[in-house]
Structure 1
């Protein structure tokens, strides 16, 4: 993020590392601008509430290789929930009247697509709605790991950042996977490492150490 639309290194306000889809930094676009060379810029406000950069304002690139709209703007027949906390189903398109929570990995059939202010919603076959936020759902079917087998001895930790070891797990152990997420979700400087939530804590998702068997 820069303080000027012409992107000089000396005018950088903040930098954002590439992140997993579920943890990508978000910005509200308040205006548009063009550099002297004619490149389109977004005038934005940082809305990453858990980050040190929250609230900062400036210019970022509008290049599609670097940024995407937060919300889908096209219809899809199937969506898969990717948010570790799941996605809520609502009676109304303004996301009021919560009905239930769909867990990560749930595949949903959608029959419609509606716009609501600056956001989009998907209409389910029962007439209810879910968000079209790309950080929470992904188009198409995505298989959710349910069980893993330990290939090399690993440790279980108390959180996804591997703060404290809580158990040694032997080679050959089969573990039930509750969900997957990434370490350091709010860091602007590191991508993060994929973890599996299992009974009692978190383990690595590194294929050198564990194998998805179901």
Structure 2
């Protein structure tokens, strides 16, 4: 309605100018001013409608994630149920004096609890944000309509082509923003890098491209994760953070915030990480390292399976896939620069020997002849405690304390 009134106002202004052709210059000035103001109103209404459309688009996107997260939350119910059973199992084993079985059951219990917690949080965060963006869309559309109706009513009351002043009132902030589209092209999004690290305020997904589609959806990023950002890219009227690994996440200010990390602490997860400290490191059940939360010692050379980076004060920790935490200090944890195609560097619970001549067990990661303990025949299955390094080559540390090669020509992971 407001755009149509703006065109009518311009037509009326042109008529006034024609009627005043033999009059004074003041009528010419009045007509010219009216035409300019009418065009400004039309432009303003178009920008208001654009803002409403953008807000509605964001609402639809976040609502889609809410549906996905709700599905994850449903799966979490099953995980929670499994966690209770595993907890009972651990307690039963402990009571029976079976420490090894109790420890295994406890580890399984912890993983189930972590999965249930993450899925539940994802559902709650996405649902809350979907509601927020839906309300934003409704509010923006209401403001656009209000502007159009207000301008039309003002012109009707004056009965002329003169339009109201465009100076914004104290309660018309949206009108002021829409009049300056260059300042609001990416409303609610970051457009400049303050630091090279962000922390997530809500759970979100990483994508393989800047246009967020289900086909490009990668891993879920839980709330409180530290991400290494290398640049900001645009996608339509939104912006995206480009991460160090080449993936994309939203640059919505309501989802992320810039943080500073103390020098000397890791902020990346991609690649193969291992313990370089001669003293080794400990695993903890919480990100704040208290002695009561210390649960397991990891020797030098142990390969870590990192899930994400979290922030504690101004420093970082690695959260492992088993839910526990280790330091992310660069003098204690390093990234393996060279890997070998025939060696496996990922963790495993069991491996089986595939070499026709079998494989040796050693009492050290140094595979010299004097450290050989026994020969394992082809087809035999071995239980693995950890993956450790000798230089750039990986070894499996077995539950009996011995070591075997992680060369896939000799042993392979048993997924059964």
Q: TM-score range by the shorter chain?
A: 0.3 to 0.5
Structure (1 or 2) with the greater helix fraction = 2
Higher radius of gyration, 1 or 2: 2
Relative contact order higher in (CA < 8 Å, ≥ 6 apart)? 1
Q: Using structure 2 for the length normalisation, give the TM-score.
A: 0.25
